[in-house]
A and B are shown apart, each in its own frame.
Chain A
Amino acid sequence: MRSVLRLSFSLAKTNFKLRNEGSYLGILWYILSPLLLFLILLFVKQEAFSVKNIPYYPIYLLSGLLLFNLFTQIIGSSIVAISSNAGFIKSIKIPMEALVVSKAIQFLFSHVFEIFLLGLCMFYIGLPLVGLLLYVPVLILFILFLLGLSFIVSTIGVYISDLNNVWTVFSQLLFFVTPIFYVPQMGNLIYQVNEYNPLYFYMRLAREVLIGGQGVSFNNFIFAGLSSFVVLFAGIFIFAKNKYRFAEHL
């Protein structure tokens, strides 16, 4: 367990450093890329949509965008976490869990930068920063959920390499189906689909604590916690059941 975490941190640190290594703006890109996307969407919304007013729209949009980013980065990289390390796995015995866990840690690192950006925006708009404090437990539950899902998709990714292609399309679909830059109309199809969208569930929870509005519902918190742990343990179980077969399939 300790050696898994140690290796995970080490790999996460390495990949974090390497991601923007050699670029002129370096580490600044961790803030720049979400910021630019945020500004584009903000501009498009103002120019193209005439949806009714959403209170604190910039925070609504930014929080949705950041959680969506975290989701797609972690899951997308987990799908190939095992299958892209074939040579490594066959050449030296390492705890393979670390390859998956390191992805979650790596993107959690970069998410911390994005939270600064979020805090800055909240301060500028005049929202109480207490929301950020309440955001921490939501983030922890979300990460545990993602970790569980990562274990599942990395296992499937070993056997079915098509998953990576499916994912590219699916993540695009997810971007439009999940209410990131709009509010779903009660009763329509999008609304109904999102009743079963776990990403939207955590997103709603995050917005509740960040923007406040109708206050935080305790029940949602309990439900989020429960589903996080169920998915996490399911993921760990599936991964552990299959990991001894990974090497020969790579």
Chain B
Amino acid sequence: MKKIALASVTKNFSLGSSRGDGFLGRILDVISGKEKKAQKIGVDDVSFELDKGEIIGIIGRNGSGKSTLLRTIAGIYSLDGGSIVTYKEEYKNPHEGDLDDTTTAPASTIGADTPEILYINGFSHGIKPRLTMRENIYLVGTIMGLSKKQIEGVFDDVVSFSGLAEFVDTKVYQFSTGMILRLNFSIFIFGISLKNFDILLLDEVFGAGGDIDFKYKAEEKMNSLLKSGVTVILVSHSLSDIKKYCKRVIWLEGGKLKMDAEADLVINHYSTEKI
């Protein structure tokens, strides 16, 4: 039933020279003999496994490696050490269980059929203010990997959910902030439910914005999406949201896994340490 397995995942960033990246700075570095590059540890030796349909939260202070970890899983960052394996189908560990049917689940199936993974940080990506709402729905839909047909199929739902039906052919720069938030959220949520992603990596996506009515609607929609059996990793600073959706929480600190346990326990420790 495994979906994602991380083993001692490590990711480092080189911070560049102490004098910055300019040409002059580099020359000065060479002359002064100080060209050693500083290294920043992004994620350090993190291992955990995730089952299908599980929703886990990741918490931690700013710069503790939460986004880095998600981006590494999504393949946006390359891996410096360890391994990340994701499974499309449910995969039984051959070493688990009592039967010695190790031959039925060969290691070669790993990665043969890569699952669809979505990583998203916030909502507002790809929206062009100078295009109309209609054009933007098609654009952002395509960015999310939907085909034209799929977007056409879901177009009316997006519009009616956003409650902006009368502005479909208005250019988005004339929208209010709240209207743009509504639009973003609507495209995003319908895009995800259409694409049938296997794994969702959601980085600070709470707070859809909008008024009370929309907030309620959005929460309900988000709830049904997260409970639809998809495997989810949530990164958020909103502990109440994490508590609401996740049974299990991982606490990162300085790139290291500090705690991996039941949500209430981890959140209690995390918030008491803060004080």
Binding site for B on A (CB under 8 A): 3, 6-7, 10-11, 14, 17-18, 21-22, 88-94, 161-162, 244-245, 247-248
Contacts and interface: CB of A to CB of B under 8 A. Distances in A.
B131 A244 contact: no
Interface stretch (B116-124, B241-249, B263-271): B116-124
Max count, chain B CB within 10 A of own CB: residue among A17, A88, A247: A247
Interface in B169-199: none
A90 B76 contact: yes
Q: Determine chain A's interface SS by DSSP, over half rule.
A: helix
Contacts of A248: 13, 77-78
B144 to A, nearest CB: 8
Contacts of A88: 125-126
B143 A94 contact: yes
A93 B74 contact: yes
Nearest to B124: A91
Contacts of A162: 23
A88 B139 CA distance: 14
Contact of A91 (B13, B120, B131, B142): B120
Interface in B202-233: none
A247 B77 contact: yes
B167 to A, nearest CB: 18
A47 to B, nearest CB: 41
B51 interface: no
Given A6-B147, A248-B13, A248-B77, A92 B128 contact: no
B130 interface: yes
B145 interface: yes
B82 to A, nearest CB: 15
A93 B78 contact: no
23 contacts: A6-B142, A6-B147, A7-B143, A7-B145, A10-B139, A10-B142, A10-B143, A17-B131, A18-B130, A18-B131, A90-B76, A90-B121, A92-B118, A92-B119, A92-B120, A92-B125, A92-B143, A92-B144, A93-B118, A94-B143, A161-B21, A244-B77, A248-B77
B138 interface: yes
B122 A245 contact: no
Top-5 shortest CB links A-B: A244-B78, A10-B142, A91-B121, A247-B76, A21-B130
